[in-house]
Amino acid sequence: MAAVTEVPQTIEPAEAPLSHRLARRASEYARLMRLDKPVGTWLLLWPALWALWVAGQGRPEPRVLIVFVLGVVVMRAAGCVINDFADRDLDPYVRRTRDRPLAARRVAPSEALALFAVLIACAFFLVTRLNALTVKLAVIGALLTISYPFVKRVFPMPQLYLGISFGGWSVPMAFAAQTSVLPRVCWLLYIAAVIWAAVYDTIYAMIDREDDLRIGVKSSAILFADMDRFLIGAMQLMMLGALLLAGRSMHYGRWYQGGVLAAAVLFIWQQWLIRKREPAGCLRAFLNNQYVGLAVFVGILLEYTYAT
């Protein structure tokens, strides 16, 4: 594949006020961190909130809750930065990503690496407010997150690796922070979060399938081919099954089961949205997943509010 033609970086006029130039750089950095697209943060935050409420028996420690919310925001931003750094010569070939700051050469690779280092330092500071087991798990999680953009070049189902490395790792960390142990329910929630990430990221990958095939990028949407809807449905059922097993191990009742049922209804709606495999429908289905996480969390919240 030929190298991407360099796009000249936008240069501010020499007479432009300093405040204007700084605002423009801040705007590009915000886009690089996807601060303009919070849905990704919600998709990562919901499993952490599930785990915090379950581990804390409905009353998570406020300090731990604050650290995790801030940590998810920071680590999601860091993951986006390192992903765009790794893909800076591929993103210009994909319609959805060609205007990203690194792909459009509005931000230099050195700037991205410096921003990534700052974000990782902030995340490390946050996690050191917690216990030693959580810190150890955070180090593993950081290494997995950094490896994801490079592993996805060779792994045929990078969406699954995303779940293992990024989408669900906050679950064991939350249990470690709250209880210092990793019980059976922790791993059931982790499995649910991993499978869920594979579901929504496969739907997302369906948007780019034609471009990815053309440039040789791997994705589960390509791997699944015309079996994509069926296999997404199978993973959705597996995710719901893991959630039901988690609820059973905790002796949860109808409030929690109602939350899982609401998630199932949303999955049915997503299957309808992707039925024609049109990019617009796939994008709507992907975005709908934030409500899946919300439905499960509301079920957990109501279970501790009314059933105890």
Which tokens sit at 156?
A: 């045929």
E strand residue ranges, the chain:
none
- For a pLDDT cut of 90, what percent of the chain falls above it? 70
pLDDT tens figures, 33-81: 999 999 999 999 999 999 999 999 999 999 999 999 999 999 999 999 9
Q: Is the pLDDT of residue 153 over 80?
A: no
Query: pLDDT tier at 178 (50, 70, 90 boundaries)?
Result: very high
> Quick check: helix, strand or coil at residue 129?
coil
Q: What is the CATH number of domain 25-306?
A: 1.10.357.140
In angstroms, what CA-CA distances link 241 with 193, 196, 237, 245? 12, 11, 6, 6
The CA distance from 38 to 33, in Å, is: 10
pLDDT tens figures, 188-240: 999 999 999 999 999 999 998 988 888 888 889 999 999 999 999 999 999 99
Q: Is the pLDDT of residue 11 over 60?
A: no
The CA distance from 41 to 35, in Å, is: 9
Domain spans of the chain, in order of start: 25-306
* Long-range interactions of 34-38: CB distance < 8 A, separation 24+: 34/76, 34/77, 34/80, 35/77
pTM over 0.85: yes
The CA distance from 256 to 259, in Å, is: 5
Compute the average pLDDT of residues 270-297.
Answer: 97
Compute the average pLDDT of residues 164-169.
Answer: 88
Query: pLDDT tier at 128 (50, 70, 90 boundaries)?
Result: very high
- For residue 16, what pLDDT is reported? 67
Closest CA to 134 of 178, 88, 103: 178
Closest CA to 290 of 46, 51, 77: 46
The CA distance from 298 to 292, in Å, is: 10
Q: Give the position of tokens 């998570």.
A: 60
- For residue 5, what pLDDT is reported? 42
- For residue 40, what pLDDT is reported? 92
CA 174, 178, 181, 185 torsion: positive or negative? negative
